[in-house]
A and B are shown apart, each in its own frame.
Chain A
Amino acid sequence: DGGITQSPKYLFRKEGQNVTLSCEQNLNHDAMYWYRQDPGQGLRLIYYSQIVNDFQKGDIAEGYSVSREKKESFPLTVTSAQKNPTAFYLCASSVTRTAQYGYTFGSGTRLTVV
């Protein structure tokens, strides 16, 4: 079945370490997105990519980095520069950048930094 796979589901890291969250899709979607969810807040956009080898900052990109070397993969690195990295991270994709056919979401990764 087609879908988005995020791994791992739970991730623990020590403060000051970089960590990379995986997002893979087999839907042949052009666009991919990373969102962050904090308790009591709506999802906020970190980065998005409309096509391979291209990505743009979202509303809260500071302290994060991404790459899009393959159409199916959009990994997110949470760097030590991110001041409050503990959160739930969701990856999503859409057929095209205009998303007129809707979005598909992954199951998320819960990152805890101790």
Chain B
Amino acid sequence: KNEVEQSPQNLTAQEGEFITINCSYSVGISALHWLQQHPGGGIVSLFMLSSGKKKHGRLIATINIQEKHSSLHITASHPRDSAVYICAVGNYGGSQGNLIFGKGTKLSVKP
């Protein structure tokens, strides 16, 4: 069983729709990261959170530490949001500060 599970694997939405991507993890963590990977391959860090909720523009990330679950929401989706969204967890008590990555959710927003 993977330590970080994302759902759905693929998601197609119409422009303007509200989108939710889920991430569940099975290990103890210090923080959870949401990353965005565009078709060219480069990765941008969207959020790093260890509790509660963070908002940046149309993006909202929440985490429930007790349930080991996080969600990434996109409000008023736009075709430029089309990308792969990756959840990753990190335990900073470890010796390497490494991340464990989910397999990603491929989002396609149609105009």
Residues of A within 8 A of B (CB): 31, 33, 35, 40-45, 48, 50, 56, 58, 88, 90, 92, 94, 96-100, 102-108, 110
Q: How far is the CB of A99 from chain B (nearest CB, A)?
A: 4
Q: Report the number of A-B residue pairs with Cβ-Cβ less than 8 Å.
A: 69
Q: How far is the CB of B100 from chain A (nearest CB, A)?
A: 8
Contact between A105 and B90, CB atoms less than 8 A apart: no
Q: How far is the CB of B101 from chain A (nearest CB, A)?
A: 4
| Tally of B interface residues using CB under 8 Å | 28
Contact between B86 and A48, CB atoms less than 8 A apart: no
Within 8 A of A (CB), among B52-111: 86, 88, 90, 92-93, 95-104
Q: Does B44 contact A (CB under 8 A)?
A: yes
Q: How far is the CB of A37 from chain B (nearest CB, A)?
A: 8
Contact between B97 and A107, CB atoms less than 8 A apart: no
In the assembly, what is the distance between CA of A92 and CA of B6, in Å? Answer: 22
The listed residue (B4, B31, B95) touching A100 by CB distance below 8 A is: B31
In the assembly, what is the distance between CA of A65 and CA of B35, in Å? Answer: 27
**Chain B residues within an 8 Å CB radius of A58:** 98
Across the interface, name the chain A residue whose C-beta is closest to B30.
A100
